[in-house]
Amino acid sequence: MGDFFRRIRLPLAFAALVLLTTFFMIGDQRAARGERVDAPWPLSALLEAAAPIQRAVRWPIERVRGGWAEYVALVDVGRRNDALRGQLAALEEENLQLREALVESGNLRRVAAMRREFESELMPARVIGQDVSPYFRSLLLDRGRDDRVLSGMPVVCDHGLVGLVTATTPNASRAMLLVDRRAAVDAVIERSRALGIVRGAGTDSLEFAFLVRDADVRVGDAVLTSGIGGVYPKGLRIGKVVSVQANKADLVHTAQIAPAVDFGQLETAFVSLARGPSMRLLYEGDGDAQSDTSEVAAP
């Protein structure tokens, strides 16, 4: 009996692990449809443990890159630059939201109400790692729950929308980029107000799908978040239309968008410390704010 068990324990363990991974993948697929799936704590622990290593790797690279500039008595410039970029990102966001509101109604009181609704604190976070898979796009940030960063919070930078926080630990978090193949954002063309959905494709460009009857989409048009869907604030810059694919027979046309953010060069991002209404519905009400080790998929 013991000998038999010894002989089958390896195939048994293999089969059990294959079943487990398949179970996790099906669970994650469910998450992509809006259901929430928690990551097991040992794996969240790995994300947490990885952060110091990644900071340690970042340190010499940063020193080499910025060493000379700092050597010439510019020690505080990097830090001040980070702070100013944070302010710039906040002002850009506010400015876009104001422009959005003015375009819509011209009613300044409504503008003020909207500012109150969307104004949120921005937490600067350094990019300490990238996705290890060639087909998916995410960032690891050096801020986590201890800095009030939670899953479902939008991530922005001074050029526009970056993505969404999808997993957090006390000192680190993972953010799914806008260009990830699982990311989707409700968007609007700034000029014509044509609505659609921007989807990532896992490459460096985005796809904007829009209904033909609303369509007035031209090359060069700016694409902003529409606020519909309740995940991202309204008026964040997504990118610019670079080409439009129109097939008269189709009800839905698509346009290619060049993202406003250069994700490959991103060193600092800002986490908006307020979840959108949909993310609040998904996460709050189960004590999640204190013990958030969850995974969230695209809206």
Partner 1 sequence: MREALVLLLAGSGALALESALLAHAPAALVPSFALLFPMAAALLLGPFAGLWVCAALGFGADMLSSALFGQHALLRLVEFVAVRAIAGQFDLVRPVPFALFAFGLALADAAASAALIQFFLGSFETDLRSLGGVALRAVATAVAAPLVLALARRVASLGGELDPRREMRLETKRPVL
Binding interface with partner 1 (CB under 8 A)? 9-11, 13-14, 17-18, 20-29, 32, 37, 39, 43-44, 46-47, 49-51, 53-54, 57-58, 61, 127-140, 166-167, 174, 176-177, 180-182, 201-204, 295
Q: Which residue has the tokens 């947490």?
A: 48
51 vs 279, beta carbon nearer partner 1: 51
50 vs 195, beta carbon nearer partner 1: 50
Closest approach of Cβ 99 to partner 1, in Å?
32
* φ, ψ dihedrals at 258, nearest 5°: -90, 120
Closest approach of Cβ 23 to partner 1, in Å?
7
Closest approach of Cβ 36 to partner 1, in Å?
13
174 vs 237, beta carbon nearer partner 1: 174
54 vs 278, beta carbon nearer partner 1: 54
Closest approach of Cβ 111 to partner 1, in Å?
35
- For residue 11, the Cα-to-chain-centroid distance in whole angstroms is 40
Closest approach of Cβ 127 to partner 1, in Å?
5
Closest approach of Cβ 264 to partner 1, in Å?
8
187 vs 298, beta carbon nearer partner 1: 298
27 vs 34, beta carbon nearer partner 1: 27
